[in-house]
Structure 1
Amino acid sequence: MREQILEVLLDIEETNEVKILYACESGSRAWGFPSKDSDYDVRFLYIHKPEHYLSIDPVGVGSNRDVIERPINDLLDVSGWDLTKALKLFRKSNPPLMEWMKSPIIYYRAYTALERMAEIQDSVFTPQSAMYHYLNMASGNYRDYLQGSTVKIKKYFYVLRPVLAAKWIEEKNEFPPMEFQTLLELLPESPLKQEILILLARKIKGDELDKEPRIDVINSFLDAEISRLKLAAEQWRTVKKDPTAQLNELFRDMLKEVWDKR
């Protein structure tokens, strides 16, 4: 599958006259709990030639798009962001982008953009906004899928993971890792953790996790932890410097690094 993904990325470069800087897995495979029918969620960053940015229509406005997407099929979901879009979102401490940067499954990496971004990640990371991102995700999924006596049991992972990510930020004041198993290390040995591990083993094995009786010990944990973490997020205060000058320099340096030898 990696070869097929690289072929798609090469075709994107040639068709759109761009250079891809980085490509990774972003979905359940990167989180550590893929199903047997999980597709591949490939996300990438790219950069156009310098003249593309010298336009009266800014990148991202009208037909001058800042996203490249390939039609989704049963196996592949491939989309990417222009570096200008990525850096503007990076400035806002965008959690999906930061997750891409931490993906354990990297399909392609070229040039130094990701290294440069990683060097300044701590200065752009905003713990409070990241906690809100994960808690909003957890609350929505919890409300939609895990109420009642029987629930869509596989959805536990789509609530547990963001809750544990928010808990990681609270305890460590850093952006959380992608892997669910690493986040799970936050929990002490307990009946709760054992139930989660049993569920995880079933999902990785490929069991059909459809409607089943809800798991009360997990629901009780989620009820309490979502409420507690929301209060913690409200009280968090972070002051950070505006990184725009650094990001502008990074972008200009990438244009030279990628295209100067044409």
Structure 2
Amino acid sequence: MANEQQLIAVTDEQPYPLLFATISGAHLYGFPSADSDFDLRGCHILPVPEVIGLDPGRETIELSEIRDNLEIDLVTHDIKKFFSLLLKKNGYVLEQLYSPLVVRTTPEHEELKVIAKDCITRHHVHHYLGFAKTQWKLFEKERRIKPLLYIYRVLLTGIYLMQTGVVEANLVTLNENFKLPYIPDLIARKLEGGEKSVLADVDIEFHQREFNRLLGELETASQNSTLPESPAAKQALNDLLIRLRMRSVG
């Protein structure tokens, strides 16, 4: 992985042990520009005294810095917060957990990935519908290629999740299944340009039709999905949380 040593160094410097740290954002989605930052996302473990004491530990840690010309944006949550988010219809944490771009891992990271399969429900559709609609408004306003690619990535991720129960956030991989003919050109233009590249020649009506069509496909996929209505992993997450927390006592 390019820039791996810089990313590992950032994780080494974190104040609490990490359950895992992965790369999210454009690098995960398959269309990083030369100036894309590295979005590090993960899960840390607060020690017991900082959980039960009067002065609580840092439930969320955020860090933005430039290191050796590499822009890094890091966000990690304590295990209790992260596990709680897994029990909600939160696609972000699922994508972070299952990202194949792993910077830091543990055996419990692998265990959590197994447990989290029982957190995936048909109601995750709301995350992807809402995210896509927000990105469409941004694209209408700015005509930038980044939100347009985010629209397609989000919609295809949501459809694929509803159909298969598998979290896949990479647009290149997704399009091997969906075969949308315009996706490779859009990705190529993003790779050649920058994060703020504008599509001066964009066919807005075409993308409006595709946006509406894929929204409909996502809603239909949700209605036809065999995914459960609610998560079934709460007890397993609770057991893992206690085990990880108590380990810090020793």
Q: Same fold (TM over 0.5)?
A: yes
Equivalent in the alignment of 1:125: 120
Equivalent in the alignment of 2:131: 137
**How many residues are aligned here?**
242
Equivalent in the alignment of 2:198: 210
Q: Distance in 1 between matches of 2:231 and 2:5?
A: 42
- Which of 66, 79, 82 is equivalent to 1:86? 82
Give structure 2 stretches of 5+ with no counterpart: none
Equivalent in the alignment of 2:162: 170
Cα shift readout 1:127-151 (whole Å, capped 9, x = no counterpart): 22x211111111111123137xx93
- Which of 230, 237, 245 is equivalent to 1:247? 237
CA apart distance, 1:64: 4.0
Q: Distance in 2 between matches of 1:187 and 1:202?
A: 20
2:93 is the alignment partner of 1:102: no
Q: Distance in 2 between matches of 1:242 and 1:166?
A: 20
| Paired residues of 1:27 and 1:41 also in contact (CA < 8 A) | yes
Q: Distance in 2 between matches of 1:103 and 1:227?
A: 27
2:208 is the alignment partner of 1:219: yes
Equivalent in the alignment of 1:70: 63
Cα shift readout 1:90-139 (whole Å, capped 9, x = no counterpart): 122421111011212111113x22122112222211122x2111111111
Equivalent in the alignment of 1:197: 184
What code does the residue aligned with 1:194 have?
A: P
| Paired residues of 2:94 and 2:167 also in contact (CA < 8 A) | no
| Paired residues of 1:86 and 1:97 also in contact (CA < 8 A) | yes
CA apart distance, 1:71: 3.6
| Paired residues of 1:87 and 1:247 also in contact (CA < 8 A) | yes
| Paired residues of 1:168 and 1:186 also in contact (CA < 8 A) | no
Moved over 4 A (4+): 234-237, 256-259
Q: Normalized against structure 2, the TM-score is what? A: 0.85
Q: Distance in 2 between matches of 1:231 and 1:187?
A: 16
Q: Normalized against structure 1, the TM-score is what? A: 0.81
Cα shift readout 1:141-193 (whole Å, capped 9, x = no counterpart): 1123137xx93233210110111112112322x133121111112324xxxx2
Equivalent in the alignment of 2:7: 5
| Paired residues of 2:50 and 2:57 also in contact (CA < 8 A) | no
| Paired residues of 1:25 and 1:106 also in contact (CA < 8 A) | yes
SS at the partner of 2:45? strand
| Paired residues of 1:153 and 1:214 also in contact (CA < 8 A) | no
The percentage of counterpart residues that share the same residue type is 23
Equivalent in the alignment of 1:159: 151
CA apart distance, 1:47: 0.5
Q: Distance in 1 between matches of 2:13 and 2:247?
A: 21
| Paired residues of 2:159 and 2:221 also in contact (CA < 8 A) | no
What code does the residue aligned with 1:114 have?
A: H
Cα shift readout 1:9-42 (whole Å, capped 9, x = no counterpart): 22223xxxx2112111111011110011001111
Q: Distance in 2 between matches of 1:222 and 1:242?
A: 33
2:44 is the alignment partner of 1:46: yes
Cα shift readout 1:50-83 (whole Å, capped 9, x = no counterpart): 23223357xxxxx543111124447111121111
What code does the residue aligned with 1:200 have?
A: I
Give structure 1 stretches of 5+ with no counterpart: 58-62
Q: Distance in 1 between matches of 2:114 and 2:87?
A: 13
Larger-gyration structure (1/2): 1
> Could you say what the CA RMSD is over the residues aligned between the two structures, in angstroms?
2.6
Q: Distance in 2 between matches of 1:218 and 1:187?
A: 16
